[in-house]
Amino acid sequence: MELFELIQTLNRAHGPSGDEGEIREVIRALAEPYADEITADTMGSLIVHRRGKGPKLLLAAHMDSIGFVVTHIEKEGFLRVGRLGGVSPKEAAYTPVRFKSGLRGVFAPEEKADFGKLKLDECFLDIGAGDEAAAKQLVQVGDSAVYDAPAFRTGDLVVSPYLDDRISCAVLLSALERIGECPNDLYLVFTAQEEVGLRGARTAAWSIAPDYAVAVDVTDVDDTPGSERAGTARLGRGAAVKVMDSSVICHPAMVALLEDTAREGDIPVQRDIMRAGGTDAGAIHLTRTGVITGGISVPCRYIHTPAETASLSDADACVRLAAALAQRPLEQP
């Protein structure tokens, strides 16, 4: 399945932080033909194992997305919500949403709200219910909702909600298809609850105890008008090899290993430094006595909005780099 088709498939699955069951089963079905073993841990992360005799190599991409959770149902039938992860009310205003049940609605601000200082408690979900009783026939407190927008292409770019981090899940699934003989003991982990604190990566890494690890995620860019240089990557320049972000300073040996692998495979790469935000690498590199950890990043514009934008050629470079690393015989550290 080509990358864009994979992204479309993953985008249709429900999976905000803490409610990843649907996206987990979609990924399980896609990975199963290429895996020796697939398990889900207590936190809900999916662990895909390809057995090998070499060191343990963990490649992680988080499958959860940001979203909303219903906290109150008002007498007029409107819903008040809380955040699941880094939702910005201004960026989400007037966006269609969907629940796991298929129910749809729209996220809207109150008319009196100051849009420049918009707060979440000044917003609501409109699901078309006439009153509280009608709304309670459709939802209950604790139900979660996500952005409801399609993925589409424009030239080499893909625009979609939840490229963070469904595009990286697609990268790992595509890499898994390409991996032939596996010299390393390979674990592809699709982690849960990254958006609320790197939680799934922490427990999965503890149980696997990897020798090497790479977190695959999106990264901020420095290529749009008025850029404040929150990141160093640019769309169209290849896979971004992470040097650091606010959660991790990548191990120099892993940065060198990824860049050497890219050079040997004629894979376009650039360096990734992100001033704010983090990835699963932040939890993984601190596991047990420490893990040699790095990152492969997909440059992405408008992160955490309903219209995240990335380059399919960059994503393909990430696929090639992840597959090449997995097939490279690693030395026991």
Residues serving a catalytic function are 194
* Cβ atoms of residues 290 and 254 within 8 Å: no
Task: Report d(CA 104, CA 69) in Å as an integer.
Answer: 14
DSSP string over 294-324: EEEEEEEESTTSTTEEEEHHHHHHHHHHHHH
Strand partners, 144: 69
The four Cα atoms 50, 51, 55, 61 give a dihedral, to 10 degrees, of: 20
- The residue behind tokens 């080509």 is 2
Looking at the DSSP bridge assignments, the partners of residue 212 are 57, 292
Burial group, residue 332, by CB count within 10 angstroms (0-12, 13-18, 19+): exposed
Q: What is the residue type of 164?
A: D
What letters, b where the CB count within 10 A reaches 16 and e where it falls short, cover 120-150?
beebbbebebeeeeebeebbeeebbbbbbbe
Residue 209 φ/ψ region, left for φ over 0, alpha for ψ in the -120 to 50 degree band, beta for the rest: left
Residue with tokens 């009196």: 112
Per the omega criterion (within 30 degrees of 0), is the bond before 165 cis? yes
Number of CB atoms found within 10 A of residue 48's CB: 24
What DSSP line would sit under 114-153, residue for residue? -GGG--GGGEEEE---SSHHHHHTT--TT-EEEE----EE
